[in-house]
A and B are shown apart, each in its own frame.
Chain A
Amino acid sequence: MSCHNAMVTQDVTPVAPPEFVAASVPTAIETHELTKRFGGRRAVDSLSIQVPRGVIVGLVGPNGAGKTTTLRLLLGLIRPTGGDATVLGQSIHHPRAFMHRVGALIEGPAFYPTLSGRTNLSTLATLGRHRHADITELLQTVGLADRGRDMFRTYSLGMKQRLGIAAALLSDPELLILDEPANGLDPPGIIEMRELLRRLRDDGKTLLVSSHLLAEVDQIADWLIVLVAGKAVYCGPAASLPGRQSSEILVAAESPAQLDVVVRIARDRGYAAVVENGHARIAAPSSFAAELNRLTMQSGATLVELHQVQSTLEESFLQIIGSIN
């Protein structure tokens, strides 16, 4: 499984681990040179990505990167100017062929303000020929069981968002496309949302989640697509995002003198090391940790702490954006 993009020279070409590369793994989404122009502006520019099934995919990028436009293209709400794409094996030019297997929340929840949350869901269930019996359960799932009969316009932003998620789940979809699902949620709500998304993934569903909350995406995404100016600058396993492999080893020893020994050992092996806030920070791969521990013990020093610090998605993302700029 691979991603072609027009920015491979940016040294952000994805490296997919073997479990994702198997040709037999069916894709949930594939795009080939997908392009959308609005006037002279290319909102999505020759986008070629592949998304495996059964994973949470984080779609990240700066404002105006083309995230929402890409989602709209995949849902058949707008038509591509060029290229093609398939969703669950069906062309996006024929959304009726796949949309009954897809749930979506795009650009914020949109419901009828003077209808209750429950009635809004009921009309959508009728329209999509879904089971009305599931509505009560869905309202409970998203934490709106007590407010289902209240008018949508009386809902807070977070409650509206929850109703949007419930609507997306009406069809018990194989693929969920969620645009900023955590928008407006309070911290407990964000945690609940995270757990819900993981649970859905564990049930075998594929989730494509667009978000600007990189820390949130970092916690849930198995697969990442990084969009910049309508192009995919990375599409692959989250763990393989360039910059994330460049890790540090953080070490604490029994005494400052012993910490100096640790630093000397690291430097002798060719790694940069500094003492900072009572810890030795060593720019080395995780594979060096075991060797460092052994060498430190042989020199008579005792480590009280040794762990690997991996760069966050935010750091990697900024690194990618920085390299492009």
Chain B
Amino acid sequence: MLAAFMAEWPKIRRRSILLALVAMVGITALAVGITLARIHRRSLEQQVLINTDVGLTGTLQPSATLVAVIVLITIAAVLGADWTQGTWRSLLVQEPGRLRLLAGRVLALLLYMIISAVLTVGLGTLVAMVVAPHEGVNTATWWDSTGTADYLAFLGNLVLAVVGWTIFGTLVAVLIRNPAGAVGAAIAWLFVIEGLANQVWSTVGQYLPGRILSVVLTGGQASVLSNETSTGVPYATALLIAGLYAIGMAVVAGASFRYRDLTA
């Protein structure tokens, strides 16, 4: 598994994967900058909240959701492409242990995604710190003891969500075996199937993987700068269910990769 992990890094330096990091950083910096620049157009309550200890994480939270989607798309596309390029067979000739190979590769991609997500949030924080004073936002409370704890909890939840989205992306790629199909299926699941399920039968819909990972990402709180309401699933419950989903998805992805014929 270590060999598969190490062998993945030169591939991660590919432009297509580095593009994911650029997209994350670009979108986050832009979103944070725009959010703060337009803070005066928001409700009075939000203008007050931005000056409190949850102001920074509230600013970063919407772009964190986009980061999660980019993680899902990148993982699904990268692993799915190995079927269309036929590269799995080249890799399996060198490492016939299928689970070792998949686990090593996914761990390397996961580490890259975590580093990218944390780096993205770090740069988003820098943008916020630069823009906020110009917009008259008080950033002192962002870094008091409560604000710092909230920021660290936000980072921790982001890492957990990235783990969840990576496993989700892996499952979709292994089942669909095609980058475009995998990305399409992942997006369709999140925005169509889960969206419909939530509309039609919200008591069940809120427990679907995408919703649960969103609860984990937000720490169970709706963003202070968002008009969305939090779901009815408590954070601790969401964390438990997300863990079960992660195990279940990993088992299904592993079994599928281990036992299905490689004909590509």
Hey, which bits of chain A sit against chain B, CB under 8 A? Answer: 72, 75-79, 95-96, 99, 102-104, 106-115, 119, 122-124, 126-130, 167-168, 170-171
Contacts and interface: CB of A to CB of B under 8 A. Distances in A.
Nearest to B6: A126
A213 B97 CA distance: 33
Contacts of B90: 109-111, 124, 167
B14 A114 contact: yes
Nearest to A168: B93
Interface in B1-47: 3-4, 6-8, 10-11, 14-16
Interface of B: 3-4, 6-8, 10-11, 14-16, 85-87, 89-97, 101, 259, 261-263
A256 to B, nearest CB: 61
Contact of B87 (A75, A76, A110, A171): A110
Given A77-B261, A78-B261, A129-B3, A112 B11 contact: yes
A124 B93 CA distance: 9
13 contacts: A72-B263, A75-B92, A95-B96, A106-B89, A106-B93, A111-B87, A112-B14, A113-B85, A123-B10, A123-B11, A126-B6, A128-B3, A170-B94
Q: B7, B14, B94 — which one has the most chain A CB atoms within 10 A of its CB?
A: B94
A104 to B, nearest CB: 5
SS class, residues of chain B in contact with chain A: helix
Most chain A beta carbons < 10 A, residue from B6, B92, B96, B97: B96
Contacts of B7: 123-124, 126-127
Which residue, A103, A106, A123, has most C-beta atoms of chain B within 10 A?
A123
Contacts, number: 85
A74 B31 CA distance: 53
A167 B3 CA distance: 16
A110 B14 contact: no
B86 A108 contact: yes
B234 to A, nearest CB: 43
Contacts of B4: 127
A128 B95 contact: yes
A168 B262 CA distance: 18
A317 B94 CA distance: 34
Given A104-B93, A128-B95, A77 B3 contact: no
Contacts of B97: 96
Contacts of A115: 10-11, 14
Contacts of B16: 114
B108 to A, nearest CB: 11
B132 to A, nearest CB: 39
Nearest to B105: A127
A108 B86 CA distance: 9
B91 A124 contact: yes
